[in-house]
Amino acid sequence: MSADLATVPRTAWRAPGRARVARLRDRLRDVYGVPCAPPHEDPLAELVLTVLSQSTNDRNRDVAFLRLRDRFDTWDAVRDAPVPEVEEAIRPGGISKVKSQRIHDILVAIEAANSAGGLDLGWMRDAPVSESRDFLCALPGVGRKTAACVLLFSYGLRDVPVDTHVSRVGMRLHVLRPGAPFEELHDAMLALTPSGAELELHVNLLRHGRRTCHAQRPACPSCILRRSCPSSHLFQPR
Ligand code: SF4
């Protein structure tokens, strides 16, 4: 467990009620608004983008993604290309050797497992979410967070990605159980998120983690959630 999560108080945790989640959502909405990200209906692009996002910032991720799309006309071409060529294309995204092999392995695995044939994942639009999630989580290196990104951002389906920011803020607020494993965090996040609020809660918790509830030295004194946060007393400016 990272140092910032080790400081989360673990005593007296209780699953949050709907009213508390609604209040937190409203407070976050006051500050960050309601995010607008209509489903783009391109699950393969989302899958690759999420692989590229590992251990880098959004800008480098996007540069790597655009270079990949410029270099190869189709995802079939990416799959069939020598891995070093993919590695060279995505180099600005960092750890390109690992990511290029991962992208290749995922595309090959989709082709092998996809009953719809080829690299077409359009069937996920109308399939039960659990079926699509299981399919994605069986791909090499794909976990619940990546699967949730694909389902939510591609088709607006009911899933909530729990990344490092969402998990940190959620645990500090005692919305998520401190120290819970990622599988439990995703199940819990889904259970506490009202239907239709998946994108909003994910994006606004992430924004709050980036802008205020930093991993190191969170800005508790100026935080709009401090009155209802059981962790607020733990973090004070030096
Ligand atoms: S009060 Fe502090 S620990 Fe709690 S959410 Fe705000 S910044 Fe994070």
Q: What is the DSSP string of 46-84?
A: HHHHHHHTTTS-HHHHHHHHHHHHHH-SSHHHHHHS-HH
Burial category of 100 from C-beta neighbours within 10 Å (exposed 0-12, middle 13-18, buried 19 and up): buried
Atom of ligand 1 nearest to the CA of 224: 6
Q: Is the pLDDT of residue 106 over 70?
A: yes
Radius of gyration of the chain from its Cα atoms, rounded to whole angstroms: 19
Q: Is the CB of 175 under 6 A from ligand 1?
A: no
Mean pLDDT, rounded, for 55-74: 95
| Tokens found for residue 147 | 């699967």
Q: Where do you find CATH 1.10.1670.10 in the chain?
A: 3-36+160-234
| Tokens found for residue 161 | 């990605």
Mean pLDDT, rounded, for 72-76: 95
Q: Among 46, 35, 32, 34, which Cα is nearest to 153's?
A: 46
What is the band of 34 on the pLDDT scale with cuts at 50, 70, 90?
Answer: very high
- Could you tell me the distance, in angstroms and rounded to a whole number, from the CA of residue 224 to the centre of ligand 1? 8
CATH of domain 3-36+160-234: 1.10.1670.10
Which parts of the chain are beta strand (E)? Answer: none
Class of the CATH domain delimited by 43-155 = mainly alpha
- Could you tell me the distance, in angstroms and rounded to a whole number, from the CA of residue 209 to the centre of ligand 1? 9
Query: Minimum mean pLDDT among 5-19, 23-37, 47-61, 185-199: which range?
Result: 5-19
- Could you tell me the distance, in angstroms and rounded to a whole number, from the CA of residue 225 to the centre of ligand 1? 6
Q: Where do you find CATH 1.10.340.30 in the chain?
A: 43-155
Mean pLDDT for the chain overall: 92
Query: Minimum mean pLDDT among 58-72, 94-108, 125-139, 218-232: which range?
Result: 218-232
Beta-carbon contacts of residue 149 (< 8 Å; ≥ 6 apart):
46, 50, 161
Q: Is the pLDDT of residue 112 over 60?
A: yes
pLDDT per position as a tens digit, 163-214 = 999 999 999 999 999 999 999 999 999 999 999 999 999 999 999 999 999 9
| Tokens found for residue 17 | 């009620």
pTM of the predicted protein model? 0.90
Phi, psi torsion values for 38, nearest 5 degrees: -60, 145
Q: What is the distance between the alpha carbons of residues 48 and 105, in angstroms, rounded to a whole number?
A: 11
Q: According to the model, what pLDDT value does residue 1 have?
A: 47
